Structure 1
Amino acid sequence: MAESATSGGSISGATEVAARHLAVLRRPTLRARRVEAHSLASNKERLLGWARGTTTLRVEAPSGKAVVSWDLPDKEALDSLAARCRPFLLNRDPVLNGLEFFLQGAPGDLQQQHQTIRAGWRLLDLADRGTLGYGSKAGLLTEAMNEFVTDKELAYAWLHGDLAHADDATEGRVHGHDIDARFQAGVLLITNVAVRAIMTLNFFRRLRSAGYVELEEDVFTERVVARPERELAVTKIATAPVGTPIDAIEAFLDGSATRADEDGAGVT
């Protein structure tokens, strides 16, 4: 009897732990679907191009001057995508740890994909001293160059200074790199976040299809982007003087009050 009770308790405990991990996964799944639904993510090839930091080198005639140019998305559209991506830069560990719980006993390819996703996210952290693609020094040709900064330092300066807080100290913190340089790095960071969010979302879908994660169907189907227009069918309208109690107005709507009510509410 004691053994049976212990076994039952273990099963119940495991179920509770699984439920907690599922609750942790639900919100990031919805957030990732918002990223996937963004206009800048509609063209996956172009999104990947931005995430790779695609550049073009051209030589201008007749001067022979060499110019490097970057293909960058619209500024306001990138601001919008950054708002949807920003939560993924704050705290991902519970999500990735939750996935690890469900992958116990899963095939090696799923385990490897999970580790690849985890490693990819880690590269985006400012604490990681590497770069996403480049580092930079800025300065005047007639003076010594300023200190070297990574693209991630520039990107986070744009994210936290130019985009979120309009911090006056941003310029000084990134050693002479102007807002164009910071935005360029911001594009690299945010599009990489978007790519990884969509990759993680597709991994969720694969795990759910294989039966490892029992997220509800509505997590993958409910609308995650508001419509630009909204209509409601009106069946009753109540009008009343300012200050009329809500209860009196509701009474008119459900037919339990008369037009002679002392509060003076009326129905049209």
Structure 2
Amino acid sequence: MAHSLVREHGQLLNDLGSGTVKMNIVVNTKTGETDHSVLTELPPEEAFESFAARVRPFLMSKEPVYWALVLDALEALLSEETLAELVDIEGLRAHWSNVVEGSQVAHAYYVVTDKGKLTDIQLANLWLNSDALHTQIIQSEVGKSLSLNQRYQAAASVYARIGACANNTLYLISHLVNEGLLELDPSVFTAPVTADTHVEIPGKVKIYSAEVGAELPADLSNLDPEVWKPIHEDIELLTGAEDAEES
């Protein structure tokens, strides 16, 4: 998956997806007192918002990359022999379904308060819809009683698992294509999915300047030289002399 979090924090995402946590247990052998703590490391939230936004279309039935539609297409394109001997399409469906469908059953844990309880999936949805991609007001009392940190912790684990599903499905499709068992347009693997941060207008460019308020020309091949100057001839603009005089 072409995302900076996968490249730079791949192991962290794997740990989140598998539910790995660190436990610190301290026992005072003299007094018998104990101290237990659980630590979960999370990726930077802003970067994870981007990750969740990239993963979200796989969960939306109206999107062409909705997970069930992808698996339907994969099943239709593969031969009966490949499906029988290599690709367990029903097992793949079951795995996706377990990860993405339903919110009443927890992936890993429930949070229980005196206001009620929520699954980690419900908490993740609150983060997505109230903190990250949307600004919906949290309505439930139990939801209001839980913090942003608790919502984000749940979301990080839930969406890491969904991302792992998407990544593993991509690996499977890539393997099938490489083995000649599946034919796809090569552009699906080469089309850009992230924009460049350095953009230069292609071809030969000419730059002109004019006074603020000048009427835009209708014919670029016949500019009025009294109004439009080649940028290299506009000394005041290039040196900032006019701005300096005004200040």
- TM-score w.r.t. length of structure 1: 0.70
Which residue does the alignment assign to 2:74?
Answer: 99
Q: Is the 8 A contact 1:50 1:187 kept in 2?
A: yes
Cα distance per residue 1:159-191 (max 9 Å; x no partner): 112112222325636362221111111001111
Which residue does the alignment assign to 1:184?
Answer: 153
Q: Is the 8 A contact 1:47 1:191 kept in 2?
A: yes
- Give the CA deviation at 1:227: 2.4
Cα distance per residue 1:110-139 (max 9 Å; x no partner): 331x3233222212334264321111202x
Which residue does the alignment assign to 1:47?
Answer: 13
Which residue does the alignment assign to 1:4?
Answer: none
Which residue does the alignment assign to 1:226?
Answer: 195
**What amino acid sits opposite 1:50 in the alignment?**
L
- Any residues of structure 2 matched to 1:58-73 within 5 Å, and which? 58-60=24-26, 64-73=34-43
Q: What SS is found at the alignment partner of 2:86?
A: helix
- Note closer, same or farther for the CA distance 1:119–1:245 as it changes in structure 2 (3 Å cut): farther
- Note closer, same or farther for the CA distance 1:77–1:265 as it changes in structure 2 (3 Å cut): same
Which residue does the alignment assign to 2:245?
Answer: none
- Give the CA deviation at 1:229: 2.4
Which residue does the alignment assign to 1:124?
Answer: 99
Runs of 4+ in 1 over 6 A off after TM superposition: none
- Give the CA deviation at 1:260: 5.6
CA RMSD of aligned residues (A): 2.7
**What amino acid sits opposite 1:243 in the alignment?**
E
Please give the alpha-carbon distance, in whole angstroms, between the structure 2 residues aligned to 1:179 and 1:216. 43
Q: Is the 8 A contact 2:96 2:165 kept in 1?
A: yes
**What amino acid sits opposite 2:152 in the alignment?**
F
- Give the CA deviation at 1:98: 1.0
Q: What SS is found at the alignment partner of 2:23?
A: strand
Q: What SS is found at the alignment partner of 2:100?
A: coil
- Give the CA deviation at 1:106: 3.4
Please give the alpha-carbon distance, in whole angstroms, between the structure 1 residues aligned to 2:142 and 2:117. 12
Q: Is the 8 A contact 1:51 1:195 kept in 2?
A: yes
Q: What SS is found at the alignment partner of 1:131?
A: coil
**What amino acid sits opposite 1:89 in the alignment?**
L
Q: Is the 8 A contact 2:49 2:133 kept in 1?
A: no
- Give the CA deviation at 1:224: 1.8
Which residue does the alignment assign to 2:204?
Answer: 235
**What amino acid sits opposite 1:194 in the alignment?**
G
**Residues 1:38 and 2:38 aligned together:** no
For structure 2, the 5+ residue unaligned runs are 232-247
Question: Among residues 90, 100, 106, which one is paired with 1:115 in the alignment?
Answer: 90
Q: Between the two proteins, what is the percent identity of the paired residues?
A: 25
**Residues 1:152 and 2:121 aligned together:** yes
- TM-score w.r.t. length of structure 2: 0.75
- Note closer, same or farther for the CA distance 1:102–1:228 as it changes in structure 2 (3 Å cut): same
Structure that is richer in helix per residue: 1
Q: Is the 8 A contact 1:131 1:150 kept in 2?
A: yes
- Give the CA deviation at 1:78: 1.2
Which residue does the alignment assign to 2:167?
Answer: 198
Q: Which has the higher contact order (CA 8 A, sep 6+)?
A: 1
- Note closer, same or farther for the CA distance 1:60–1:220 as it changes in structure 2 (3 Å cut): same
